Structure formats: C-alpha cells, structure tokens
Chain A
Amino acid sequence: MPRTRLTRWVVAIPMAVLALATIYPIVFTTNVAMKTRREYVLDRFSLADSLSWNNIVKAWTSVGMSRYFLNSVIVVACSVALLLLIGSMAGFALARLRFRGSSTLFLGVLAALFIPFQVIMVPLARIMADTGLVDTYPGLVLAYVAQFLPFTIFLLTSYYSTVPADIVDAARIDGNTVYGVYWRIMLPIGAPALLSVGVLNALFCWNDVLISLLMMPSAEHRTLMVGVTSLRGQYSDDIPTFASGVLIAAVPVLVVYLFLQRQIADGVTAGSTKG
C-alpha cells in the first residue's frame, strides 16, 4: 500500500486526471449550452462570451422540453409512490408476518429480479396494447412499477427484517391491528430505507428510455429522455439548443445527487453486502 508520500501522490495524479475526465464532459456541455450557434461553430472550446440563457429558454419553450419534463415528473412521481406503497406492504408482510408460502413468495420475487425488461418487452407490449394501456400514463406507470417492484420488495424486506420483532409485538399488545402496525409503526421506522429506495427508483424511472419508448409512442406523451433522443435528429445543426435540452434533463439528477448521494449509494450497495 502507498505508505510513502511519494507513492500516494503517484497514485493521486492519475486519479485526479480521471476525475477531470469525469467532470469535463458535463462542463463542456454546459458551456456549449451557453453559447450562440455562431460562437459554437467558430470555436467550440472557448468559454461562452456571456452566460446566455437563450438556448435554455428556447429548448424549454419552443422545442417542447417543458412538456416532456412535465410528463416525466407525473410518471416518475406516480411510479415511485406506488412502488413504495406496494413494496413496503409486501416487504413488511414477508419480513415480519408468519404465513404459509412466505418463503416461496420471496423466491418468486428474487426470480423476477433476474428477468430483464428486454426479455419480456414483446409480450408486455402486447398485454398493454390488448388492455388499452399503451400510450397512457397509467400504462407507463404500471410498466415501471412492474419493472422495479422486485428490487424494491427485496430491499424493503431485508430492511424490515432488521426491525426487532419486539417492536411489532409491543404494538400488537397495545391493541394495534396488523394494518395499524404497518401504518403507524413500520412506515415511519422504514423511512430511511423508503427514502433510499425511493430516490433510486426515481432515478431509474427518470433515466429510462427503452420502456418509455415502447409504452408511450406518441409525441405529446414523450418522457424527457425520449424527448432528448428526438432532439438529436431535429437539432443536429443547432448544437447549443441540443446541449441545452441535454442539460435540462441532467440538472434534476445533479441536484438529487448533490443532496442524496449517500442514500443512492446505500441503495446500490444494499444487495452486495447481504448477497
């Protein structure tokens, strides 16, 4: 291990270069978004002359990113709320209630965890079309819930398994029904896990493109990521506007990341230590 100062710095320098390589693409895109088209064509690397929000405004209004943004917010909010509700109910039941078949059900959840969307997307599209859910908000929400529910249940079950059974028993003795225990005890106790799983699910849904592309074909229902892909063709000769659209889609993620980085990391690593 790098016990001398020299080796520490020898390692630190490539790591700093890598950090630069990680930040630069985002800085570059931000800078391009601030430039006029003319500035970009003349010199794409120079700093933007002035902080101009024109491209951002253009992307938000006339290009239609605001509509896509709203679509994404609606779908993500509904999906995450449903995921947390259904997932915590199931997680509580699997972790803290005794009933026949509980381990079989948990195995079923684990099995579903290993079915990637690509493998079931054709029949799922057909089911959505047959039930008239294709190109509707409920349809896309349902597709997201189905996609991320196994993961949500898995994490919440393992979290609820760490809640001492005494707490549940004490609440029962105090006269709570099972539902009362869930609502008044388990939901509040589970708050940290719900936050972590909720943020992660929000990111998954916000970042998705494949499911949205398949389930929401019409232009007015486009989510933000599908909107960004459609910009590519439309604005290939107006890179600053394109970069602005990309930035609009990235900024909410950046904000969430700055405030909730630890919760995201907790969610990502939860499966690895228990594995």
Chain B
Amino acid sequence: MPASTAGAASSRRNRRGSRAERLAPLVLLAPAVLVIAGLRLWPLVLGINFSFTGDGDRNGLAVGFDNYLTLLGDPLFRTALRNVGLLVLLLPVAVAIPGLLATFIYLKVPGHRFYRGVYFFPAVLSPVIVGAIFNLLLAFDGPLNALLGGLGIGPVDWLGDPDVAIFAVVGVHVWATFGMALVVFLAGFATLDSSLLDAAKVDGASLPQTIWHVIVPSLSRTIQFVFVTTMIGMLTSMFGLVYVMTSGGPEGSTYLPEYYVWIQQGQMNQPALASAASTALFLIMLVVGLAQISILRRAGKED
C-alpha cells in the first residue's frame, strides 16, 4: 500500500479544503493532547520539581536532595528497594514459567485449548480480588496449610512471618499474572515459522534442544517484550495485592516503592517525600528497562 502517496494526495486536498478542514487534525487531537499534556506529562515535571521541596514546616521551600537522603535513611524504603532487588532476581522465573507453558500449549499437549482459557483468567481479575481470595487461602488455619499438613509439612505463617510474607505476595502476583505473559508468548508463536520446528524434528533434536536453539532465538523479540512488561507489572501493579494481603507488614517486610509512595502521600501527609520516592521509582524503572533491553540485545546477537 503506497501510504505516503495516498497521504500526500489527501493532504493536497486538505490544502484546497475549507479552513475547518485544514484545522481538522488539530480539532481531532486537541482533547487527547490536553489530557495527556495536562494530566500525564505536566504532573511528571511537577512531581520531580516537588521532590526537591520540603514537607510540613518547610512546605514549598527548596531543600535540595534532603528528601532523597531521608529516603535512603528510611528502613521502610530500604526494605522496598531490597524487595525490588528480589523481584529482579525472580524475573527470569516469572518469564520462563509462562514461556514454557506457552511452548507446551503451542505443541498441542492434550487439553491445550482448555489450559489457555483457564490460565489466562486470573490475569483479568483485580489484584484486590486475587489478594482477598488468597487472604483466605493463606490464612494460618486456611486450606494451603491444611493441604501441607496432610503431607506432614508446616504449618507456615504465610502472611505473618516477615521472612515468608514477601515471597507469598510475589508468588500470588506471579500466579495471577503469568496468563498475561502466556498469551503474549502464544501470539509470538503464531508468527513462528513452523518449518524450523519440522526441520528440528527431522534432525532428531530433543525438546530442550529445540526450545534453546529454535524457539528462543526466533522469539527473541517476544521474550524481550515479556521481560520488560513483566518487570513493569511487578513495579507498578502490585499495590492492590500488598494493600489487601499484608498492608506492607509484617514489620514492613512487604513494602514496595509504590506502596511507600501511597503511604507517604495518603497516610503520612508527606507529599514531597512521596514525590521523591515516585521519582526514585521512575529512575529504577528506566534503569531496569534499559539494562534489560541492552542485555537481551547482546544475548540476541551472540546467538
């Protein structure tokens, strides 16, 4: 489709058209531009600015990097950062599980259509609903401990033990969202050249060999997309789970940066400190995102 010539033709007609016609793009785009500029881009600038001002008595005064120093000194924020580190470490697992499951579904294991429909469902549920359900399931006297007790394990205080709770919350997040990545992987598989798989079959490649040498390289773009979106999901869509399952506890062990921002803004009335935490979260996301892309690019080239 020669889009450029057609576009040029229509723009020529535009120029001949009435004034209202010429202004059409402006009119059509005005609401979107107003909303995005006014309520997304402008607040970003405001927030960064705001993070260099004070709270309470020093409201509105320039305080330099004081808020950031306060953050670094706050054990709760440090826990939040440590938990981000944990999420980054768990990221390959959170990507590999749906990747592997998608591979099996693509290879048409018995019942593959059913699995796709079932696995994807929790991904469309609100973290609030998922969190509320797991509050019941992970209760000390709840079903999971009863099941484990039947096997002679436990009981484990899933949401009450500071060393365990963050893993419980992250585990539930992975349970609730792996379907999203699975669907993305399946869309990637749909673009895969099946003759490559047939060739691997003829050559007698094993399943792990096929995955490593055929599927992973062919899906590198999809894998990269899943890595980045899964990480963004971990950093920005776990608020509901933390809020419902643990409220940051026990002993602040399940704090995440987004939850910290909420507490400082909504509960502690320290908006400037909250802005500093927001800005820090934004920087973390930029760094993690860019690092992932460059690592995956390099890995892609070596193949």
Interface residues of A (CB under 8 A from B): 1-3, 7-9, 11-12, 15-16, 18-19, 21-23, 25-26, 28-29, 32, 44-45, 86-87, 89-90, 92-94, 96-99, 102, 105, 108-109, 111-112, 114-127, 142-143, 145-146, 149-150, 153, 161, 164-166, 168-169, 172, 177-179, 182, 203, 206-210, 213-214, 225, 228-229, 231-232, 239, 242-243, 246, 249-250, 253-254, 256-257, 261, 264-265, 268-269, 271-273, 275
How big is the B interface, by class? 35 or more
Cβ contact within 8 Å between A145 and B35? yes
Question: How far is B1's CA from A102's CA once the two chains are assembled, in angstroms?
Answer: 20
Q: A12-B109, A22-B119 are in contact. Are A108 and B125 (CB under 8 A)?
A: no
B48-87: contact bitstring with A at CB < 8 Å (1 yes, 0 no)?
A: 0010000000000000000000000000000000000000
Within the complex, which residue of A98, A109, A268 is in contact with B183, where a contact is CB–CB below 8 Å?
Answer: A268
A118 near B35 with CB under 8 A, answer no
A86-B31, A272-B184 as given contacts; A118 in contact with B281, CB under 8 Å: yes
Q: Name the residue in A15, A111, A179, A208 with the highest tally of chain B Cβ atoms < 10 Å from its Cβ.
A: A15
Min CB–CB distance B172 → chain A (angstroms): 9
Chain B interface (Cβ < 8 Å from any Cβ of A): 1-3, 6-11, 13-14, 17, 20-21, 24-26, 28-29, 31-33, 35-44, 46-47, 50, 101, 104, 107, 109-111, 114-115, 117-122, 124-129, 132-137, 142-143, 146, 175, 180, 183-184, 186-188, 191, 197, 200-201, 207, 210, 221-222, 224-226, 229, 232, 235-236, 239-240, 243-244, 257-258, 261-262, 265-266, 271, 274-275, 278-279, 281-282, 285
A102 neighbours in B (Cβ, 8 Å): 25
Q: How many A-B residue pairs have CB under 8 A?
A: 304
Closest to B121 in A: A257
Grouping DSSP codes into helix (H, G, I), strand (E, B) and loop, the B interface class, with mixed when no group exceeds half, is helix
